[in-house]
């Protein structure tokens, strides 16, 4: 296990290197000139060129990339062109709200998604199955921004149960944004759990266990559930990565002070250091989550061995 873990950690290095190249190229392909935006609409050519030299944008792209990687290796993510504050400090300030929101949204979506999917599989062809899948299809079909506005109108404006927007550390402020963020994931988890459960229930060892007189509840939760959970764990890891990167809409609707809103603000002013840092951070999340998922496999099913 340790050997496999070390190999995967080493394999992350070239992946992150390729991601850094792509992030650098993508950001510099965006239309607009940061120097012109910083200088203002009425600035003359000399002023704009002075800003370009100050930002290092007058140098060739390969040289800019080498300087960027050199700073990155020592933990320097650069200075925000918009706020003049270190990008590392800005991200550190917004990272916790985004992570808390993603964890809460993931927690309830996994619980209800796996539960609905298991119920639908156990009662396949019955009203429980149709009800669970109807809720799942509804969760996938409803846009996040519309669901967020609907929840605000109902639970914040009409009923007054929860705050409309913002985050100051209170749990009440997490309810509506986490429900909005996790709705799509819960629906996907329910459908994926149903598919995995039905596939496992068709295996011969399930039929053998039933033929031996093993109680149905034991067959479902000891034999079927454990094996069906392995592909579900993979989906959980992938969806958590999407939650971290896909919180832009939810954070905008609920005025959440997280990384999603920070990225939107950075795109508006072509803040290269911020965009590059966020793209690398989101990519690292996906790579690290995949590593964790592989480690969890062995905990779910001890028969899995790594070479």
Q: What is the pLDDT of residues 30-88, one digit of tens each?
A: 666 677 666 666 677 777 777 777 767 777 778 878 887 887 777 778 778 777 788 88
Q: Residue 51: enclosing H or E segment and its boundaries?
A: helix 45-55
Predicted local distance difference test score (pLDDT) of residue 88: 86
The parent domain of residue 27 ranges over 2-73
Domain end, chosen from 11, 41, 73, is at 73
Tokens found for residue 3: 């050997």
Please check whether residues 67 and 152 belong to one and the same domain: no
Same domain, 67 and 111: no
Residue 88 placed within a domain: no
Q: What is the C-alpha to C-alpha distance for residues 10 and 242, in angstroms, rounded to an integer?
A: 24
Share of the chain above pLDDT 90, in %: 0
* Interval 207-246: pLDDT, tens: 777 777 767 667 776 667 767 777 777 777 777 777 776 6
Q: Are residues 28 and 102 in the same domain?
A: no
Q: How far apart are the C-alpha atoms of 77 and 241, rounded to whole Å?
A: 22
The confidence band for 1, taking pLDDT boundaries of 50, 70 and 90, is: low
Q: How many domains does the chain have?
A: 2
123 shares a domain with 58: no
The model's pTM is 0.74
Q: CA–CA separation, 177 vs 30, rounded Å?
A: 30
């Amino acid at each position: 296990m340790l050997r496999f873990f070390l190999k995967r950690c080493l394999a992350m290095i070239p992946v992150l290197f390729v991601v850094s190249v792509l992030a650098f190229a993508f950001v510099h392909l965006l239309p607009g000139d940061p120097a012109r935006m910083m200088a203002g609409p009425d600035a003359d050519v000399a002023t704009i060129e002075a800003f370009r030299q100050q930002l290092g944008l007058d140098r060739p792209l390969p040289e800019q990339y080498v300087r960027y990687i050199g700073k990155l290796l020592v933990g320097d993510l650069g200075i925000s062109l918009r706020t003049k504050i270190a990008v590392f400090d800005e991200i550190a300030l917004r990272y916790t709200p985004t992570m808390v929101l993603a964890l809460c949204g993931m927690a309830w979506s996994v619980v209800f998604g796996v539960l609905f999917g298991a119920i639908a599989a156990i009662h396949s062809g019955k009203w429980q199955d149709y009800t669970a899948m109807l809720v799942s299809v509804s969760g996938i079909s409803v846009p996040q921004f519309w669901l967020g506005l609907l929840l605000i109108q109902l639970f914040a404006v009409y009923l007054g149960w929860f705050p409309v927007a913002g985050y100051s550390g209170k749990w009440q402020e997490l309810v509506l944004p986490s429900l909005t963020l996790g709705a799509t994931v819960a629906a996907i988890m329910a459908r994926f759990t149903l598919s995995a459960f039905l596939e496992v229930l068709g295996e011969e060892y399930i039929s053998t266990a039933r033929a031996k007189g093993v109680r149905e509840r034991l067959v479902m939760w000891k034999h079927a559930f454990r094996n069906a959970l392995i592909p579900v764990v993979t989906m959980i890891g992938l969806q958590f990565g999407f939650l971290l990167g896909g919180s832009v809409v939810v954070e905008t609707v609920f005025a959440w002070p997280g990384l999603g809103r920070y990225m939107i603000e950075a795109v508006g002013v072509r803040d290269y250091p911020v965009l590059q840092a966020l793209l690398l951070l989101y990519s690292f999340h996906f790579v690290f989550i995949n590593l964790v998922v592989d480690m969890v496999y062995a905990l779910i099913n001890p028969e899995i061995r790594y070479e």
